[in-house]
Amino acid sequence: ENMEYSYYLGNHSQEIGSCLIHNEDHSDADCFLLVFLSHGENNCVYTYDGMINIQDITAAFRGDNCPSLVGKPKIFIFQACRGNKCDTSVVITAASTLPAAADFIMCYSVAEGFYSFRDPIKGSWYIQDLCELLEKCGSRLEFTELLTLVNRKLAMRSVRMRSDPNGSEKKQVPCFASMLTKKLYFRQK
Quick check: is 175 catalytic?
Answer: no
Catalytic residue among 12, 26, 44, 81: 81
Q: Are 124 and 109 in contact (CB under 8 A)?
A: yes
Dist. CA 49–CA 162, nearest whole Å: 30
Phi-psi region of 103 (alpha: psi -120 to 50; beta: other; left: phi over 0): left
Catalytic residue among 39, 44, 131, 175: 39
At position 130, the amino acid (one-letter code) is L
Q: Are 69 and 101 in contact (CB under 8 A)?
A: no
Quick check: is 19 catalytic?
Answer: no
Paired with 88 in beta bridges are 170
Known catalytic residues are 39, 81
